[in-house]
Chains A and B, each alone.
Chain A
């Protein structure tokens, strides 16, 4: 792999440049330390620990796949995985749909465009802890939204998802979509603005209705933006921790437990590092499979000119 790497140099440098490259190498030491030391060695160490009996402290007694067997026999982990799938699919879908609609509607030469944009995006500037706490307060059964609507006369109105183990995950979902859909809106709006105006003229000349143009012409052209959005949102899904801790603490029961929280709980409070690292390795797997090839293709593989 080393040889192919070197061929990607932007402009081939003469031999005498070699001496100066030492400065470059020195400047790159922190990068090398982080890349190798943290993202290779630490990841490798974590994965290795998942094959050991480590409890509170690392222990190098090799136990093969025992921790993984235990992990997949732990109901809390199974629930976490189920939760993250349900949450992830709905979160990504809702953010994409609402982000796309917001972008399309904002792109209709509306008044106050920048005002709307500011409003749609401000939650993204706030932390997930803040987001979780605000929504927890509004979803409080006796003082929150439910109470207000009931007092207005709609007695049977129910909106207190966080206290029900069946609906709590949707309560988290609302908060998450509120926080992140503005991001998708911003990306999609940039995508829409990047589309050649000629496309619109051509579509109009051909008499294609606006909605059809959006659906069959514009949307396919926005594929790169969609992929970027999905990658970003998906990374957020795998990592979801702060929001859960602030909004539900994983409850009621295990209703909103997530893999990211499972790992932290097992390496801190529950002092079962081996099992926690097995869970962490499972979290790494989808990231590795999706992001790995993409990074290799985009950035590592030499560009051919």
Chain B
């Protein structure tokens, strides 16, 4: 796996001329403003009342900052027919994400291990097909999968959507673990074999403890990916299990009379909170995760 090093700039030495230094900072600050504006607007809008929003002062700080829109978004806003807020979607997302992440990582690590140390006839071809799956647009396989899940009675169930996420997570998880295991020294494996350890013993007692760092990356990659999913949840989860992203879209699309922008923005923030927290807390691991997602062998 490509290790991303972000410590210590490597570029040319800064020139003494202050004009170009000023240019560098001017560019960076204006870029930073462009990236900040949406988050800022979300935050201030969510803390305003509707009369204040109608004044059209998008960037103004809230005169009377309060979290009533957040409370409404969480527990009262209408997601279609029901008006219980986005909390149901939050718990659905939790229920979908945790097992999907766990199962796809277990299978991905097992696949990666088998592909690195126990290659069999055709295993490379199998991996090639699987990897190709990482690029197949969902649209191409969705319809047969709908039929398959309908036939097995899993369509519109929690188990169904977990299965779907596991399927679509498998290519990238397998790649991640395969690349990691291939980077480990061969001697480690050979020594264990000489000592008589079998397939599962080597996996459980040697490879799993060694793969903690890559597992952290995998957890981050999968959690944010599955939490942010919209299309698969919309199609496969069923009415009872719609994830937060789908419910968020429903809240905004449901318009009875006035559009409550403050509630919409609060719901938007609530939906973004989990991946944002993961991003801010995991830092380098997140970057490693997306670099791994970049499919670099």
Contacts and interface: CB of A to CB of B under 8 A. Distances in A.
Interface of A: 1-2, 5-6, 8-11, 20-21, 23-25, 27-28, 30-32, 34-36, 38-43, 45-46, 49, 58, 98, 101-102, 104-110, 113-114, 116-131, 133-135, 137-138, 142-145, 147-148, 151, 178, 182-183, 186-187, 189-190, 192-195, 197, 200, 203-204, 210, 213, 224, 228-229, 231-232, 235, 238-239, 241-242, 245-246, 259-260, 263-264, 267-268, 273, 276-277, 279-281, 283-284, 287, 291-292, 295-296, 298-300, 302
Contacts of B276: 122, 125-126
Contacts of B294: 187, 228-229, 232
A35 B140 contact: no
Contacts of B290: 124, 183, 186-187
23 contacts: A11-B186, A21-B118, A24-B114, A24-B118, A28-B120, A31-B114, A31-B126, A31-B127, A38-B133, A42-B148, A101-B27, A107-B11, A108-B14, A117-B6, A129-B271, A130-B271, A137-B261, A193-B10, A228-B296, A232-B295, A246-B252, A260-B137, A295-B132
Contacts of B5: 190, 193-194
A293 B265 CA distance: 44
Shortest Cβ-Cβ A-B pairs, 4 listed: A127-B228, A24-B118, A23-B199, A107-B11
B121 A283 contact: no
**Size bin of chain B's contact surface:** 35 or more
Given A31-B170, A35-B133, A195-B10, A277 B143 contact: yes
A2 B24 contact: no
Contacts of A110: 9, 24-25, 28
Given A134-B41, A148-B58, A190-B291, A287 B135 contact: yes
Contacts of A263: 139, 142
Given A32-B126, A34-B130, A129-B248, A267 B38 contact: no
Contacts of A137: 41-42, 45, 261, 264-265
B10 A299 contact: no
Contact of B34 (A43, A49, A178): A178
Contacts of B295: 228, 231-232
Nearest to A183: B290
Contacts of A189: 6
Given A31-B174, A35-B133, A133-B248, A10 B24 contact: no
B130 A241 contact: no
A129 B118 contact: no
B213 interface: no
A205 to B, nearest CB: 12
B137 A280 contact: yes
B271 A127 contact: yes
> Which of A36, A125, A131, A246 has the largest count of B CB atoms less than 10 A from its CB?
A125
B286 interface: yes
A126 B278 CA distance: 11
Contacts of B283: 118
> Which of B31, B125, B126 has the largest count of A CB atoms less than 10 A from its CB?
B31
Interface string B1-31: 0101110111111110000000011011001
B279 A129 contact: no
Interface string B283-294: 100110011011
A46 B45 contact: no
B245 A127 contact: yes
Contacts of A119: 32, 35-36
Contact of A23 (B9, B198, B235): B198
B208 interface: no
Contact of B144 (A32, A45, A178): A45
A43 B129 CA distance: 11
A143 B120 contact: no
Given A118-B280, A295-B131, A108 B9 contact: yes
Contacts of A267: 142-143, 146
Interface string B40-54: 011001000000011
Given A42-B144, A232-B294, A280-B140, A134 B54 contact: no
B205 to A, nearest CB: 14
A34 to B, nearest CB: 5
Contacts of A273: 143
Contact of B127 (A45, A128, A300): A300
B87 interface: no
A58 B147 contact: yes
A226 B10 CA distance: 19
Contact of B230 (A30, A36, A245): A245
Contacts of A34: 130, 133, 167, 170
